[in-house]
């Protein structure tokens, strides 16, 4: 049976925020449709109060949008491969092991506290109506990655998270279509992330190495794990020499590279937990000796 595995965290946020209108009232100045404009107006006028107002659409509208998103992914997979597919939906729960791994910066510490008004209702709807599985201890995209690794070409990863493109196999990205990622391409994408980090998840990567530079560096090394790891540690070392420990935020280049790699790595097998620490078992934490 073909499986369409959906990392649906992004659907919760996209549909939730799309189903509400937000505006800002600057006291005695006026109403603005962006927080930035409101802040600028307040600073210019000397106003000391900004009121944030949220007007949600009816929950039925929001849930209909969620339904359409899931149906679209399911239909796209079945049409592309010409056979029936089982739709499996995943949501991230609590207790992410990466929270404990991150020492350079708090994992996802840059996320705002804002959540869609209908967030709880959307998640409940996905669980009740679509059989969504809530993942505890790790993330929905990890579970999708594990499923892809287990099933191979009988699984299609569905989601917009670029992290998933390090996982070899079939992918469906809404609005972009289908792509089959090879093992070598997945490896290069992974190392490019280890170098450039992930601003979305507050993972800094190698200081002053952006995505474009990271891609150029890994292409030069080719799909050789030993050369890629050596290149990565060399880049982290050079960053300290050029910019200093305080600017980089780390003093041990190899430890910093290893932490980043473990944070951006998508799990490929079913995790187990250390009974004493409650941490992810060390066998599942990415290791540079792995021959990918």
Cα separation values, 2 from 169, 173, 231, Å: 13, 17, 38
pLDDT in tens, 267-286: 999 888 877 777 788 888 99
pLDDT at 277: 73
pLDDT at 232: 96
Do the Cβ atoms of 2 and 154 come closer than 8 Å?
A: yes
pLDDT at 76: 98
Beta strands 169-173 and 177-181: pairing type? antiparallel
Q: What parts of the chain have a pLDDT lower than 50?
A: none
pLDDT at 291: 54
CA 25 to chain CA mean position, Å: 33
pLDDT at 292: 52
| Per-domain residue ranges of the chain | 2-16+60-181, 21-56, 184-284
For the chain, the straight-line distance linking the first and the last C-alpha, in angstroms and rounded, comes to 27
Beta strands 20-26 and 50-56: pairing type? antiparallel
Interatomic CA distance for residues 261 and 229, integer angstroms: 10
Phi, psi torsion values for 62, nearest 5 degrees: -65, -45
Phi, psi torsion values for 203, nearest 5 degrees: -105, 110
Residues in the chain: 292
pLDDT in tens, 189-233: 999 999 999 999 999 999 999 999 999 999 988 888 889 999 999
37: left (phi over 0), alpha (psi -120 to 50) or beta: alpha
Interatomic CA distance for residues 246 and 250, integer angstroms: 7
Interatomic CA distance for residues 112 and 191, integer angstroms: 28
pLDDT at 178: 97
pLDDT at 281: 81
pLDDT at 135: 96
User: Residue 184 has which token pair?
Assistant: 């070598």
CATH architecture of 2-16+60-181: 3-Layer(aba) Sandwich (3.40)
Do the Cβ atoms of 164 and 186 come closer than 8 Å?
A: no
Do the Cβ atoms of 82 and 177 come closer than 8 Å?
A: no
pLDDT at 110: 83
Whether this model's pTM surpasses 0.85:
yes
CA 95 to chain CA mean position, Å: 16
């Amino acid at each position: 049976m073909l499986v369409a595995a959906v990392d649906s965290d992004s659907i919760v946020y996209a549909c939730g925020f799309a189903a509400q209108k937000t505006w800002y009232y600057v006291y005695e100045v006026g109403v603005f449709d962006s927080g930035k404009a409101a802040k600028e107006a307040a600073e210019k006028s000397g106003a000391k109060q900004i009121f944030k107002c949220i007007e949600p659409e009816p929950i039925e509208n929001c849930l209909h949008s969620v339904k359409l998103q899931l149906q679209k992914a399911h239909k796209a997979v079945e049409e592309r491969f010409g056979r029936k597919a089982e739709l499996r939906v995943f949501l991230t729960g609590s207790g992410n092991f990466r929270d404990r791994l991150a020492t350079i910066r708090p994992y996802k510490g840059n996320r705002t506290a804002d959540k869609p008004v209908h967030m709880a209702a959307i998640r409940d709807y996905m669980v009740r109506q679509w059989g969504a599985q809530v993942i505890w201890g790790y993330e929905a995209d990890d579970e999708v990655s594990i499923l892809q690794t287990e099933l191979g070409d009988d699984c299609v990863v569905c989601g917009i998270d670029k992290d998933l493109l390090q996982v070899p196999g079939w992918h469906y990205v809404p609005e972009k279509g289908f792509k089959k990622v090879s093992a070598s391409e997945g490896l290069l994408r992974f190392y490019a992330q280890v170098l450039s980090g992930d601003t979305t998840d507050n993972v800094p990567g190698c200081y002053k190495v952006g995505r474009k530079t990271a891609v150029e560096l890994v292409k030069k090394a080719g799909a050789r794990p030993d050369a890629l790891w050596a290149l990565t540690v060399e880049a982290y070392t050079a960053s300290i020499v050029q910019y200093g420990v305080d600017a980089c935020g780390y003093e041990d280049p190899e430890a910093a590279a290893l932490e980043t790699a473990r944070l951006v790595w998508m799990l490929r097998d079913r995790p187990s937990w250390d009974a004493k620490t409650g941490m992810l078992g060390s066998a599942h934490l990415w290791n540079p000796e792995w021959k990918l």
